[in-house]
Amino acid sequence: MKRVTAIVRPEKMEPIKEVLFAHDVSGMTISQVQGCGNQHGWKEYYRGTEVLLNMIPKVKFELVVEDDRADEIAALIADTARTGEVGDGKIFIAPVEQVIRIRTGETGESAV
């Protein structure tokens, strides 16, 4: 099993959810997060003082999928999230050693 974590622009949340559900993704966790990457934020002025806003709002998707679907899911997210501009986000894929469904006690891929 693999964990696919994608950090994307907030306006891409609904389109990504739609494409994932259309491709039979059984579940996901979505969080609103803040962070910065290469763009390092932007400058604004508040009451005449320059303020550096370096924490940019993003949305984080986390999914645990079968090994053979991780690249497919990452490609779907990347294609949907891509604008071609700085700040489109990142996708991380990492191994998952074990999953346990608390309700039933199932483990492994059947618990996903």
Domains belonging to the chain, first-starting first, are 2-111 (3.30.70.120)
pTM: 0.85
What is the pLDDT, as a whole number, of residue 54? 75
Enumerate long-range contacts of 74-81, CB under 8 Å, 24 or more apart. Answer: 74/4, 74/6, 76/16, 76/19, 76/20, 76/23, 77/4, 77/6, 77/8, 77/16, 77/19, 77/20, 80/12, 80/15, 80/16, 80/19, 81/6, 81/8, 81/9, 81/12, 81/16
What is the pLDDT, as a whole number, of residue 40? 67
What is the pLDDT, as a whole number, of residue 55? 80
What is the pLDDT, as a whole number, of residue 41? 64
Spans in the chain with pLDDT lower than 50: none
What is the pLDDT, as a whole number, of residue 42? 67
What is the pLDDT, as a whole number, of residue 44? 75
What is the pLDDT, as a whole number, of residue 109? 87
